[in-house]
Structure 1
Amino acid sequence: MAARTRLTDAQVAALARHRFGLGAVPDLPPAEGFEDAQGVLVAVREAEGLRVVEVPRWRPPADVARRLRERGWSDPAAWVGWPPAAVEDLPPRVLVLLPVAGAPVDAAVVSSAAAAWAGVRSGGREVELVCVPVTAAAPEVGWPRLAAVYGATLAGSRVDPGTARTGGRVLFFTGLSGAGKSTIAARVVELLLETGRSVTLLDGDEVRSHLSAGLGFSRADRDTNVRRIGWVAAQIAKHGGTAVCAPIAPYAAVRADVRREAEEQAGPGGFVLVHVATPLAECEARDRKGLYARARRGEIPAFTGISDPYEVPTDAEVRVDTTGRDVDACARLVLDAVLAAPGPAGAGPA
């Protein structure tokens, strides 16, 4: 059994639900201790069972109830989710419970939901608000019970039934060396910036120089490099941004790990895999750096496509063969897929 293992944000949220009396003991991997994404110890396994040490970022219901009492709120009213269509339906003081359905508490979907309530304060009728992100989702616990745990009485709810999405995305380009990944990715960034989106390009050379400095080109090191790129990209998407990255990423299992991380952080539609499917012969013909020629001579060991495999994606949202296509045409194929993907559930129910 491992001494410690690191939990995902969704697992930490499940741990918080258990700690706050809103759910059963979560099914966690075998380990003696459990950390959150920042390395903070959140639970330990003891003979009597799982003991929760602390759950950073989630506010315990008892603490919220105590603070409301200190503010002079007696028998506070709670509203779950988005503001009602008519502000007149609200009492003068409201505890707003924002269910984020397993999304990280610092995800953009939380701030989007809180921002929707900001307009209530400046409306025609002033309402005093306290907004609290909560771990519960509708299938897990009824809203009246949730309100009661926070020391409040349910006044109403308006909840988006879909899984929380931040609106952020990871555009992950994969393909052979020389396929055109970086060139297309750079043009996609330009097109996205023209739409007014916040975009971050994780350039392969810069990542190697900074984030992955010290790594070599063994399979283990290459996998680590791709996972680091994926983690940073997922954090960008978690906060509503768009991350564009274009490593070779030859192995399906590592690409699946990156997809899983992005969708855990940003929600459904948070990951778009772009396979730049330029054939090997075309990539070799473009070999401006002479890498393929050196690999053919055995001077570069484990070179993808020559002496090391490239596992062709079967799950790509977009497939682009650049043969006979200009960069702009390829980039617009990718952009069409991105713009067609679902936006944030944070827009709230209609």
Structure 2
Amino acid sequence: METKGTVYFFTGLSGAGKTTLGGLFYRRLKEQKPNVVRLDGDEIRPVFGEDSGYAFEDRRRLAERAFRICKMLAAQGIDVVCCSISMFDSVREWNRKNIENYKEIYIKVTKETLLSRNQKGLYTSGKNVIGVDLPFEEPRMPDLIIHNDGQNSPVELVEEIERRLHGETPHLNTVTTPAQETAI
């Protein structure tokens, strides 16, 4: 019986650092094992063509399609690092129920940090922007919560993610679990 791959889902608002941290995590994981694929929300959209717009239902459909691909790849023993907002609780619940090895990593930042990083100009345009005029359903039970407001470098944060996912002793207090968040 073939070993299933793991889906590592890096989620958070635009500008939170999903692609930066997920990309670094992917490269480090790829050094250890050959069967690793990275899917990024910005790169997935053109693959599905014209019905992959930015309206609420278009976004939901795109997220559902992306995670069906993640499930298919993981079933073949391929690890998948997926970096995407995928703002829907229903999608994350589907992932937990249907993807055997699923790890959800929520990249959380303050509104001030998002505004300062506003590389794409999204937060000033305010049209079809998640967290501005479209709701963002904050993950309720991620495996890890990464506070990425610039206190730690991307390398430090990814090393901490690796430690936490492997059950090792944590070093940084900017990476937490939902239980630790509640206690704060």
TM-score range relative to shorter protein: 0.7 to 0.9
State yes or no: 1:336 paired with 2:149: no
Distance change (3 Å), C-alpha of 1:203 and 1:272: same
8 Å CA contact retained: 1:181, 1:276: yes
Q: Which amino acid aligns with 2:89?
A: A
8 Å CA contact retained: 1:231, 1:261: no
Specify the SS of the correspondent of 2:152: coil
State yes or no: 1:218 paired with 2:55: yes
Question: C-alpha distance in 1, partners of 2:163/2:64?
Answer: 26
- CA distances 1:168-209 after superposition (whole Å, capped 9, x unpaired): 100011101100001100000111012224210012222111
State yes or no: 1:316 paired with 2:147: no
8 Å CA contact retained: 2:11, 2:18: yes
Q: Which amino acid aligns with 2:111?
A: L
8 Å CA contact retained: 2:88, 2:136: yes
Pick the structure with greater CA Rg.
1
Structure with the higher strand share, 1 or 2 = 1
Q: State the identity as a percent.
A: 27
Distance change (3 Å), C-alpha of 1:229 and 1:337: farther
Q: So what's the TM-score if we normalise by structure 2?
A: 0.84
Question: C-alpha distance in 2, partners of 1:177/1:206?
Answer: 14
Q: Which amino acid aligns with 1:229?
A: A
State yes or no: 1:257 paired with 2:94: yes
Q: So what's the TM-score if we normalise by structure 1?
A: 0.45
Structure with the higher helix share, 1 or 2 = 2
Q: Give the match for residue 199 of structure 1.
A: 36
Calculate the aligned-residue CA RMSD, in Å.
1.8
Q: Give the match for residue 108 of structure 2.
A: 277
State yes or no: 1:235 paired with 2:62: no
8 Å CA contact retained: 2:56, 2:134: no
Q: Which amino acid aligns with 2:115?
A: E
Question: C-alpha distance in 2, partners of 1:213/1:274?
Answer: 29
Specify the SS of the correspondent of 2:25: helix
Structure 2 gaps of 5+ residues are 169-184
Bigger relative contact order, structure 1 or 2 (CA pairs below 8 A, ≥6 apart): 2
Question: C-alpha distance in 1, partners of 2:71/2:162?
Answer: 19
Match for residue 248 of structure 1 among 51, 72, 85:
85
- Which stretch of structure 1 is more off in the superposition, 174-183 or 247-256? 247-256
How many residue pairs match? The answer is: 167
Question: C-alpha distance in 1, partners of 2:12/2:66?
Answer: 16
Question: C-alpha distance in 2, partners of 1:335/1:239?
Answer: 23
Structure 1 gaps of 5+ residues are 1-109, 113-165, 264-269, 342-350
Report deviation, 1:340.
Answer: 4.1
Question: C-alpha distance in 2, partners of 1:280/1:250?
Answer: 17
Q: Give the match for residue 178 of structure 1.
A: 15
State yes or no: 1:304 paired with 2:135: no
Distance change (3 Å), C-alpha of 1:213 and 1:244: farther
8 Å CA contact retained: 2:36, 2:80: yes
Q: Give the match for residue 293 of structure 1.
A: 124
Report deviation, 1:336.
Answer: 2.4
